[in-house]
Structure 1
Amino acid sequence: MTHEMTITKLTLWHIGLPMRFTFRTSQGTLSHRESLIVGVTTSSGYTGYGEVVAFTEPFYTAETLTKSKDILLTTWLPFFVGKTLSGPWAMYDLIRDMPNTAPDAVAMTAKTVDSASAPADEPLADTWRSHYPMAWAGLENALIHAYYGEQRLSTIGTLVLGEKHKAIESGVVLGDMPIPDLLKAVDAHVAKGCKRIKLKLKPGDAVARVATVRKAHPDIILAGDANCSFAIEQADEIIALNAYNLRSLEEPFRVKDASGNYKSAEVYRSLPQELRQAIKTPLCFDESVQSLAELKAMHATGWLDVLNIKVGRLGGLRETVRCLDYCRAHNIGFWIGSMVESGVSKYMHVQLATMADTWMAGDLSDMSRYFEKDIITTPIEFSKGCLAVDFRPGLGTDIDESVLNEYTVAKFVFE
């Protein structure tokens, strides 16, 4: 029998999380994490939570926190008040009746959304969703956690098929820093039991950074992330990384156009096959693959070996599950990433990282590295490099309301 869930209230918290250090990549820095938390309360009194993981500046994708907040407050949240979901993905049927109006802050963007840009069989509301995946993911995750949570079912445990482990290993991401400091940081994390390190890399010193770490730790699983920072003319640096047995290298080449939009499949399709054959390191894609359609397009170029899975970037759990199914069907490696996010999004990724067929440990390490306090009650803290994972109902953990309120910059309620 299909479960029905009626929505009585939607809440949006705009929060600010002070970070314990400045995180640097080739694309920018982050020292204070603003985020949006969506709460969906049902007629049973249960509340499901989701997080909008867009950044305040468009260094990762074109979607920013302001754009996400605008479309949620003006269109999506008020629309769902009083609606009833008769299945886990019923929200997709409902949005076909969503009014075709959008705030100027959303419409006037690099990815302009208008009736001409939408396919003939796709309502404009669906087009907005595809253009603002992180805003939609925050809402969809809250809806789906509420739907399964009030039935006392685990969302990830129910939706994501396949064998799962009861614990995960940590995977530390280290930002751009002087090489001596980098080596000290790697030493410290390996001493705590971490077996997988990912380095942020940029043109000029990428090989030196990898070589230094690999010499000091020949047996650890080592990965790299270039964040689309290398020009094609700098490919020799990428080829030189062949010698260091990287598990994968993310987003090596520049693929953004002048408007900040990713042209990944187009760029990689134009590259010579000789270059593809010269690069032996498995290539992983992250920010330039934001949907199943883009995954298929990149896979068709012959350059994609591995996919970094982030629910927010992919636009919610439905699209994430579709991408996982595609990867499994086509023997594409996948593993679980992270967005410097609160536990509302992070714990969902912790659960996903239990999948037995992941490519390597995810970008999941102690939350206390980033923030003094988290807004969930389940500590994400690894012991000797391992973390036991819970699959309680819904999200799998509870919200610490006192911390949530402490970090809240603004709060909006629709009921």
Structure 2
Amino acid sequence: MTQKEDILQLPISFKNIRLIRLNLPQKEQFVSGIGVRNSREALIIEWEDIHGVKGYGECSCRPDPYYSDEFIEGAIALVDQFIVPFLVTNQTFGDLLKLLDKIRGWNFTKAAVEMAALQVIEKNTGKSPFELLQNKPLDHVPVGISLGLYTELDRMKKVVKNALETGYKRLKFKISPNVRIDFFEEINPMLFAADTYVSFDANGSFGENDLEIFNYFANTYQSMIEQPFAPNRFDVLLKAKKENPDVYICYDEEIKSIGDLMKLHHLGLLDEVNLKVGRVGGVMKSIEIIQYCAEHNIPCWIGGMFETGIGRTLNLRMASYLPNARAHDLSPSDRYFLEDIVQPNIEMNNGMVAMQSLQNCEIQSNLIDKYTIDQKTLEATC
């Protein structure tokens, strides 16, 4: 079995990094507790080594600091000022991780740099950190769909009906203190009649005065509620657990590191984990969390940040090593985008993505050029 030390010693040379800012139009508007989005603005990091081999990583942060304290302009500045100036022509993967670990926070940005470097390493050596995982990867990965907040009942019914007919393995509804409970009362017959797992995601929007609405979802569905409270309102979490001890909470924004995971686990508050590769700092950090969850029988699945095909394929690859997950928030490309930047599109059949199909997905430079709104190349300085 491959050892971590072997992975850390893999060589990675550096010529330049190209920062590519894209804006991909969505098929439809998406509304959550964070806000309204009509397109996916993304930062792609292209790492080129001294032999011209290129790798790509996607920074999954938003253009604004409303989901996390990272945002695209800040990510660009971080790479420019605190990463590229300290890269050398030749180093090991372990050297790169030490450089990234020195930077506090900015996990999405560091994960994108790591991802781009790992693509180059894998192309050159055939080796990757995924070899550290003991599970045999799945051939087909179950995926779910994330449904936004709705202001029109007919529209909500139509979307739910379509999602059920499409075969998604899970329907996850965005909720907030302002959600229309009467809408859910209307669609409940559809949900309860279907053999599909239903869960909810509040994006930290509930406060101590919203527990009545929170308890409606916890008690009516007896299902997972993801990140109901802001990560910094541990007091509200404890109050909700005291009022409703059986409530089943999945953590998302709360977990940015293995330390956050272990803290919640030892406090007896950890029911389930939505692992976002970018949010925890990349592939190596994610593998550490997956291994801890497996050792302690903690349900874990992979969440997404509406990534393009670059980030989506990596997320699906990570998801393939979680055989017990009900579903992952990794819908196919055509669920969100008018046009993705990988071809062929990532496709789903009856709620499953065939991993074999991802081997043919390739980045299309013409589509990157089409949707690029800004770019910057940073050369090696030493």
Q: What TM-score does the superposition give when structure 1 sets the normalisation length? A: 0.82
Offset at 1:140? 0.9
CA contact (8 A) 2:225 2:248 kept: yes
CA contact (8 A) 1:202 1:229 kept: yes
Q: CA 1:54–1:205 in structure 2 vs 1: closer, same or farther (change >3 Å)?
A: closer
CA contact (8 A) 1:44 1:150 kept: no
- 5 Å-filtered alignment, 1:187-226, equals 187-205=161-179, 207-218=181-192, 219-226=195-202
Q: CA 1:250–1:403 in structure 2 vs 1: closer, same or farther (change >3 Å)?
A: same
Q: Secondary structure at the match of 1:181?
A: helix
CA contact (8 A) 1:157 1:391 kept: no
Q: Secondary structure at the match of 1:390?
A: helix
**1:60 equivalent in alignment to 2:29:** no
Q: Distance in 2 between matches of 1:272 and 1:245?
A: 16
Offset at 1:270? 4.8
Q: CA 1:381–1:186 in structure 2 vs 1: closer, same or farther (change >3 Å)?
A: same
Offset at 1:271? 3.0
Q: Distance in 2 between matches of 1:159 and 1:344?
A: 22
Matched with 1:263 is: 232
Q: Distance in 2 between matches of 1:272 and 1:368?
A: 38
**1:238 equivalent in alignment to 2:244:** no
- Work out which of the residue numbers 248, 258, 265 in structure 2 matches 1:292: 258
Unaligned runs of 5+ in 2: 1-5
CA contact (8 A) 1:166 1:388 kept: yes
Offset from partner CA, 1:297-342 (integer Å, 9 cap, x none) = 2323322211101111111111111111221222211111110111
Matched with 1:251 is: 227
Q: Distance in 1 between matches of 2:265 and 2:74?
A: 30
Matched with 1:40 is: 47
Q: CA 1:343–1:392 in structure 2 vs 1: closer, same or farther (change >3 Å)?
A: closer
Matched with 1:98 is: none
CA contact (8 A) 1:7 1:43 kept: yes
Unaligned runs of 5+ in 1: 96-124, 256-261
Q: Distance in 2 between matches of 1:190 and 1:156?
A: 36
Q: Distance in 1 between matches of 2:86 and 2:13?
A: 13
- Work out which of the residue numbers 245, 252, 268 in structure 2 matches 1:302: 268
Matched with 1:122 is: none
Q: Distance in 1 between matches of 2:371 and 2:241?
A: 50
Offset from partner CA, 1:140-179 (integer Å, 9 cap, x none) = 11112211222234x4642433132101223111101133
Q: Distance in 2 between matches of 1:215 and 1:156?
A: 45
Offset at 1:409? 1.7
Offset from partner CA, 1:232-255 (integer Å, 9 cap, x none) = 2322322232444454110112x3
Tell me which amino acid in the other structure corresponds to 1:320: S
Offset at 1:4? 2.5
Q: Secondary structure at the match of 2:300?
A: strand
Offset at 1:345? 0.6
**1:165 equivalent in alignment to 2:138:** yes
Q: Distance in 1 between matches of 2:252 and 2:370?
A: 32
- Work out which of the residue numbers 58, 68, 72 in structure 2 matches 1:51: 58
Tell me which amino acid in the other structure corresponds to 1:57: D
Tell me which amino acid in the other structure corresponds to 2:46: G
Offset from partner CA, 1:36-91 (integer Å, 9 cap, x none) = 11111223432111011111111111111111111112221242251322xx4331
**Count of matched residue pairs:** 369
Q: Distance in 2 between matches of 1:248 and 1:399?
A: 35
- Work out which of the residue numbers 373, 376, 381 in structure 2 matches 1:412: 376
CA contact (8 A) 2:50 2:89 kept: no
Q: CA RMSD in A?
A: 2.4
Matched with 1:333 is: 299
Matched with 1:90 is: 95
Matched with 1:70 is: 77
Q: Secondary structure at the match of 2:261?
A: helix
Q: CA 1:132–1:348 in structure 2 vs 1: closer, same or farther (change >3 Å)?
A: same
Offset at 1:398? 2.5
**1:11 equivalent in alignment to 2:42:** no
CA contact (8 A) 2:345 2:361 kept: no
- 5 Å-filtered alignment, 1:120-199, equals 126-128=101-103, 130-153=104-127, 155=128, 157-177=130-150, 178-199=152-173
- Work out which of the residue numbers 357, 360, 367 in structure 2 matches 1:403: 367
Offset from partner CA, 1:246-271 (integer Å, 9 cap, x none) = 54110112x3xxxxxx425x436753
Q: Distance in 2 between matches of 1:158 and 1:51?
A: 22
Offset at 1:368? 1.5
Offset from partner CA, 1:177-235 (integer Å, 9 cap, x none) = 13331121010121122231110011244644444433213221101001111122322
**1:379 equivalent in alignment to 2:345:** yes
- 5 Å-filtered alignment, 1:348-363, equals 348-363=314-329
Q: Distance in 2 between matches of 1:269 and 1:383?
A: 38
Offset at 1:127? 4.8
Q: CA 1:334–1:206 in structure 2 vs 1: closer, same or farther (change >3 Å)?
A: farther
- Work out which of the residue numbers 281, 290, 308 in structure 2 matches 1:315: 281
CA contact (8 A) 2:145 2:168 kept: yes
CA contact (8 A) 1:351 1:391 kept: no
Q: CA 1:282–1:209 in structure 2 vs 1: closer, same or farther (change >3 Å)?
A: farther
Q: What TM-score does the superposition give when structure 2 sets the normalisation length? A: 0.88
Q: Percent identity?
A: 24
Q: Secondary structure at the match of 1:150?
A: helix
Q: CA 1:354–1:188 in structure 2 vs 1: closer, same or farther (change >3 Å)?
A: same
